[in-house]
Structure 1
């Protein structure tokens, strides 16, 4: 059950980042006016909600598992973020990034054991 909650936490964190990226996608110059526009964007608000939910899950998980196990496993957010960048925003993924993700996944595997 804790693994599922950790994955939900990571999905919420990554989804929040995706929504925040979507909220700033059409911003030309970043200034005070555009900042208020971003803060009132439904994408930004929903991303913030997901961050709050992820934080609540995280606090619960901290009461159940050691930080030395949880925190490194949360690095899966980097993997999900890379995939979101590729599939949603059509960003280029270099070979170096693929190697980096592979190293993260290997590390998470060893920590989970």
Structure 2
């Protein structure tokens, strides 16, 4: 059951990041004034999809709290890097973000780190 908690944490984290990016793409740039920035950001919170992304972050926190009852932090936390992998791939597919060799090498290092650190259970 502990791995389900970690998977839930990752799934809700990834969903939240992707949906926030998707909806914030509608905002070209934030205006220079603080009040104008706050107004636009508050307005965006009222967007049901943005709100669902924020709710997903909360749900991810609840799943993470449950995972902490099953695993040591030093064992479970590296699995959170799988969210980097998922966001990386999905941002390329969904948002047509650039795939550069530097990003690829960085991601490979993250995956290698997960593999190495997960062996120390």
Q: TM-score, normalised by structure 2?
A: 0.85
Q: Could you report, residue by residue, the CA deviation over 1:35-92 in whole angstroms, capped at 9, with x for unpaired residues?
A: 1221111111110111111111100111111111111221111111111210110100
Q: After alignment, is 14-23 or 32-41 more displaced?
A: 32-41
Any idea what SS the aligned residue of 1:51 has? helix
- Paired residues, number: 113
Consecutive unaligned residues of structure 2, counting only runs of 5 or more, are 31-36
Alpha-carbon separation, structure 1, partners of 2:105 and 2:28: 33
Consecutive unaligned residues of structure 1, counting only runs of 5 or more, are none
Alpha-carbon separation, structure 1, partners of 2:112 and 2:12: 22
Match of 1:75 among 55, 61, 81: 81
Greater relative contact order, per chain length (Cα 8 Å cut-off, separation 6+): 2
Q: Which residue of structure 2 lines up, in the alignment, with residue 22 of structure 1?
A: 22
Report if aligned partners of 1:22, 1:43 keep a CA contact under 8 Å in 2. Answer: no
Report if aligned partners of 1:73, 1:111 keep a CA contact under 8 Å in 2. Answer: no
Q: Which residue of structure 1 lines up, in the alignment, with residue 43 of structure 2?
A: 37
Q: Over alpha carbons, which structure has the higher Rg? A: 2
Alpha-carbon separation, structure 2, partners of 1:60 and 1:29: 38
Q: TM-score, normalised by structure 1?
A: 0.90
Alpha-carbon separation, structure 2, partners of 1:108 and 1:6: 14
